[in-house]
Amino acid sequence: MNLKGSLPLLILYVLSRGSSHGYQIAKAIKQQSEGVLDFKEGTLYPTLHNLEQQGMIASFEQEENGRTRRYYRLTQDGSAMLEHQLNEWARYTSAVNTILKGGAAT
């Protein structure tokens, strides 16, 4: 399955709960999916950078345990995109579930 296609939506959703750094985002996704979704750095960070370039998220540096980390937060445009993507995801999953449950015939 193409799990990478859902990553931007998942990142925006996690950041809607508050600012986080990359490791925290990946950990939240893995924990909340009970280990099913486990995105590695090679997938996560390019997606974070793309979302930042698009203006959906913004980054800032903050010291944590004597180490400087890059944190990400949702922007206003990111909040609007999240709402749009949540609606699209609901439509998509509803359509797939209808088909898989033997819904409307063609």
Task: Reply yes or no on whether the pLDDT at 22 is more than 90.
Answer: yes
pTM score of the predicted model: 0.87
Any bridge partners for residue 70, and if so which?
A: 61
Q: Provide the H-helix boundaries in 17-75.
A: 22-32, 41-53
- For the chain, domain boundaries: 4-100
Averaged over 2-31, what is the pLDDT? 91
Task: Reply yes or no on whether the pLDDT at 104 is more than 80.
Answer: no
Predicted confidence at residue 84, as pLDDT, reads: 95
The Cα 26–Cα 68 span in angstroms is: 18
pLDDT digits (tens, 9 = 90+) for 41-54: 889 999 999 999 99
| 4-100 carries CATH number 1.10.10.10 | yes
